[in-house]
Amino acid sequence: MRRLTLRQFRVFEAVARHLSFSRAAEELHLSQPAVSMQMRGIEVILGMPLTEQLGKKIFLTEAGREVLHASQAITARLDDLQHNLAQLQSVDSGRLNLAVTTTVNAVVTGILARFRGRHPGVSIHLDVSNRESVLNQLATNRIDLAIMGQVPDGLDLEAIRFMDNPLVVIAPPDHPLARRKKVSIDDLATEPFLVREAGSGTRGAMARFFDARGLALRTSMEMSSNEAIKQAVQAGLGLGILSLQTLEQELTLQRLAVLAVEDFPIMRHWYVVHRIDKRLSPVSQAFKTFVLQPVGQPDEAATPHSERLRPERPAP
Ligand code: PGA
């Protein structure tokens, strides 16, 4: 089946608007025979007349009115498309498709609030899940940007470091180890630990830390959220190792204590990550720049404390 072209729709719409071939030709900067030829071409494809001449006047036939209706809908749809594409190009009205790991969410919320303050028209889609899930979303190109801990080598990712992420050992404030000025790693060996689920970056860093010292960790329970771990530690179910950045409230309210364990904190870092070949939209690019800038600097500022890490450094 032959299809009408957009050009044919445009000619038809001009004829329908003016109900005159000559005025349509004038508007389109075509000759009148060219317009007549286009109209005949349309009628051949559709197999019915779209206009009729009664006396000196031209009218649309019923089929002509149907085609006009469809044609106006198509034109409006194309206008919408152009408008939407223009918006995608704008930092102030685009959409940011971001995934962050559970732990860094505490930091990202503040960054997002400041970014929105600067670009209130931006719509933000934020996925919060663990490290494995965020890596998976990068691999399947479902997100523009991620904020997370260190990324593995060989995944075609660009990762730029922008902030420290110290992991500390937490206990209830009345735990005997909380009173000690110094706690050795060996002291921890007999304590039960609450750990995050497999796939969590925090859990991976914790496991690497103890493996490197030839120590087995006694894990009493596995939980898929930092909040659950904090509550379980408060309830005396064991010790935990979490990012200091997730503990602000509990430490201020003295519901949890940080133990003074040797070799702690485990110093990890946060990275802005995207696929190396990703064509970042203006909004994604603006957000990346915003995250990397030192606090209080204009958007264009350089990022002295961040560094390009491609390939990644070995894990701390
Ligand atoms: P997670 O985050 O423990 O919530 O997975 C840490 C990371 O990004 O490595």
Per-residue HEC secondary structure of 36-91 comes to HHHHHHHHHHHCCCCEEEECCEEEECHHHHHHHHHHHHHHHHHHHHHHHHHHHCCC
Q: How is residue 91 written in tokens?
A: 């930092």
Strands 95-101 and 57-60: unpaired
DSSP state of 132: H
Whether the CB-CB separation of 156 and 278 falls below 8 Å is answered with no
Which among 48, 45, 39 is positioned nearest to 14, based on CA atoms? 39
Q: Is the CB of 202 under 6 A from ligand 1?
A: yes
Substitution site in 165, 200, 208, 225 for ligand 1 pocket (most atoms within 8 Å of beta carbon): 200
Nearest-Å Rg of the Cα atoms of the chain is 31
Whether the CB-CB separation of 93 and 121 falls below 8 Å is answered with yes
Which among 309, 315, 312, 313 is positioned nearest to 292, based on CA atoms? 309
**Residue 189, pLDDT score:** 87
**Residue 301, pLDDT score:** 38
SS3 for 232-294 is HHHCCCCEEEEEHHHCHHHHHCCCCEECCECCCCEEEEEEEEEECCCCCCHHHHHHHHHHHCC
**How far apart are alpha carbons 314 and 140 in whole angstroms?**
25
CA 118 to ligand 1 centroid distance, Å: 28
Start-to-end CA span in the chain (Å): 64
**How far apart are alpha carbons 76 and 64 in whole angstroms?**
18
Q: Is the CB of 238 under 6 A from ligand 1?
A: no
Full-model pTM = 0.73
pLDDT in tens, the chain (316 residues): 788 999 999 999 999 999 999 999 999 999 999 999 999 999 999 999 999 999 989 999 999 999 999 999 998 899 889 888 887 777 888 899 999 999 999 899 999 999 999 999 999 999 999 999 999 999 999 999 999 999 988 889 999 999 999 999 999 999 999 999 999 999 998 899 999 999 999 999 999 999 999 988 889 899 999 999 999 999 999 999 999 999 999 999 999 999 999 999 999 999 999 999 999 999 999 999 999 987 655 444 333 334 433 333 334 4
Q: Is the peptide bond before 176 cis (omega within 30 degrees of 0)?
A: no
Domains annotated for the chain, with CATH where assigned, are 6-88 (1.10.10.10), 95-163+268-292 (3.40.190.10), 166-267 (3.40.190.10)
Q: Is the CB of 149 under 6 A from ligand 1?
A: yes
